[in-house]
């Protein structure tokens, strides 16, 4: 909602002309809404101090010309859905199984992928490994704006990657990148990173809201019109979200986040948005001296339990994208010496813990209001679904009573406010995955009880919290 001021003047021929002078607009970083004036709170998403000043280009005519044909439909023809061909677009395999899994089966021509992560997580390493392998069969172009070509070549040499076919260019101008891409016509192009790219028409500094939005818009238009796979590298803010305007996530087709702690050599790649595959798909990698190596069986990593069985530990089965994943959940209940007992969660929702403790008190008769409760998901995995409710209650009870649970027990299920145990999706697949890893006993909701018995596993179906407590003995 930028405001344009028009000034009428006479040129040398005596003809009236119009000069457009663009004023600033204020764009919200969370939702992308724009305003004429700055205000403390966004009226759309109600976020505080999220408005950023945006300086637009001075030529309205050139802006409208560059925005034409965004989705490769430059001809402007109108068709019915029946006239559109339904031939499936062949995917390009990255030769990395975990990356193909997160992408939904490989790279789709004409798609735009945004890869974000903390500094040092391994974004550039993963993309460099992938492009060096793809360069053998497909034309690939690596655009680096943060490093010199010598630095990238040194990294490739250190990782012992094939470097004879991958083309690289150090450039931060979007216009130059698109011009070079028109000549080279790559099938796959990586831009590292979008925060350092800039356009000459936009007067603001690189990394600002206007530069990131306009630069990404031009690159996306090029990818859609030329059927090129475009991979953008993005930085993250202090709270872990992608830096830049929220409209950037609306332009792209797939958003991936590479996460990992500095004290662990494991990295998790999660898809937050995917138009060509499952959302919340999880891929696990291990950082080695030879780069990122895919982990074929992630459950084996997250189940590295100690020899001594301790109270408050239980294994749950979560569903990540299209596959089950076994994760250990730990809980610690201790006497509180504060007036307000602490509730600390790592990898789980903090509000979910408070709600389940209230359900446990009301329907289970176990009072933990004067206790400090600490919950941790082993391995750095973030559990986003409600199937961990029953496992969380089991772990809290085990720590509260100081009664260790059997090491061959697996638990999953959703807990309602009335104390009922609700079924979860893909219950049969979860049980088969647990049986494959040697678990002998499972406590599941009654709606997830298998019709056919699973070999080597005893399944206990529960309907409410009281039955779950009785199952523990």
- Mean pLDDT across the stretch 111-127? 91
- CATH code for the part of the protein at 301-472: 3.30.230.10
Report whether pLDDT(19) > 50: no
Domain segments of the chain: what residues? 4-65, 90-296, 301-472
- Mean pLDDT across the stretch 265-272? 88
- Mean pLDDT across the stretch 63-88? 64
Report whether pLDDT(146) > 60: yes
pLDDT computed for residue 64 by the predictor: 43
Paired strand residues for 174: none
Q: pLDDT for 452-472, tens place per residue? A: 889 889 999 999 999 999 988
| Range from 8-17, 250-259, 311-320 carrying the lowest mean pLDDT | 8-17
Q: pLDDT for 206-226, tens place per residue? A: 887 788 888 999 999 999 999
Report whether pLDDT(185) > 90: yes
pLDDT computed for residue 5 by the predictor: 47
CA gap 327, 94 in Å, rounded:
28
- Whole-number percent of the chain with pLDDT over 70: 86
Return the CATH superfamily for domain 90-296.
P-loop containing nucleotide triphosphate hydrolases (3.40.50.300)
Report whether pLDDT(12) > 50: no
Report whether pLDDT(10) > 60: no
pLDDT computed for residue 66 by the predictor: 47
For the chain, give the mean pLDDT.
85
Report whether pLDDT(394) > 50: yes
- Mean pLDDT across the stretch 398-402? 93
More confident residue, 381 or 357: 357
Q: pLDDT for 318-363, tens place per residue? A: 998 788 999 999 999 999 888 889 999 999 999 999 999 999 999 9
CA gap 367, 361 in Å, rounded:
5
pLDDT tier for residue 108 given thresholds of 50, 70 and 90 = very high
């Amino acid at each position: 909602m930028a405001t344009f001021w028009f000034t009428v003047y006479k040129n040398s021929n005596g003809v009236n002309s119009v000069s457009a002078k663009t004023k600033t607009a204020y764009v919200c970083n969370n939702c992308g809404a724009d305003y004429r004036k700055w205000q403390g709170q966004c009226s759309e998403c109600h976020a505080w101090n999220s408005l950023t000043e945006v300086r637009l280009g001075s030529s309205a005519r050139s802006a409208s010309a560059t925005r034409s044909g965004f989705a490769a439909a430059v001809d402007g023809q109108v068709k019915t859905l029946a006239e559109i061909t339904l031939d499936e677009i062949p995917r390009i395999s990255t030769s990395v199984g975990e990356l193909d899994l997160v992408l939904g089966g490989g790279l789709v021509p004409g798609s735009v992928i945004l890869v974000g992560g903390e500094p040092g997580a391994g974004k550039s390493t993963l993309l460099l490994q992938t492009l060096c392998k793809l360069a053998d069969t497909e034309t690939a172009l690596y655009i680096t704006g943060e490093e010199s070509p010598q630095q990238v070549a040194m990294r490739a040499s250190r990782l012992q990657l094939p470097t004879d076919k991958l083309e690289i260019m150090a450039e931060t101008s979007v216009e130059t990148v698109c011009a070079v891409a028109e000549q080279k016509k790559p099938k796959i192009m990586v831009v590292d990173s979008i925060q350092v790219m800039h356009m000459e028409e936009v007067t603001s500094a690189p990394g600002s809201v206007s530069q990131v939005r306009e630069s990404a818009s031009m690159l996306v238009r090029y990818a859609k019109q030329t059927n090129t796979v475009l991979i953008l590298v993005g930085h993250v803010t202090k709270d872990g979200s992608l830096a830049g305007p929220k409209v950037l996530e609306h332009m792209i087709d797939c958003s991936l986040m590479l996460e990992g702690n500095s004290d662990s050599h494991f990295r998790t790649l999660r898809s937050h948005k995917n138009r060509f595959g499952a959302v919340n798909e999880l891929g696990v990698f291990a950082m080695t001296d030879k780069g990122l190596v895919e982990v074929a069986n992630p459950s084996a990593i997250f189940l590295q339990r100690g020899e001594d069985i301790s109270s408050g530990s239980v294994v749950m089965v979560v569903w990540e994208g299209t596959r089950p994943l076994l994760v250990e959940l730990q809980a610690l209940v201790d006497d509180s010496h504060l007036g307000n007992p602490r509730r600390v969660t790592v990898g789980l929702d903090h509000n979910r813990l408070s709600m389940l403790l209230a359900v446990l008190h009301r329907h289970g008769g176990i009072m933990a209001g004067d206790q400090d409760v600490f919950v941790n998901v082993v391995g750095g995995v973030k559990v986003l679904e409600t199937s961990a409710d029953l496992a969380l209650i089991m772990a809290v009870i085990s720590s509260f009573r100081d009664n260790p649970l059997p090491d061959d027990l697996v638990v999953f299920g959703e807990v309602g406010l009335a104390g009922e145990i609700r079924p979860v999706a893909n219950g049969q697949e979860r049980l088969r995955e647990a049986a494959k890893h040697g678990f002998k006993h499972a406590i599941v909701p009654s709606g997830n009880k298998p019709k056919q018995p699973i070999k080597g596993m005893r399944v206990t179906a529960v309907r409410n919290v009281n039955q779950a407590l009785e199952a523990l003995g």
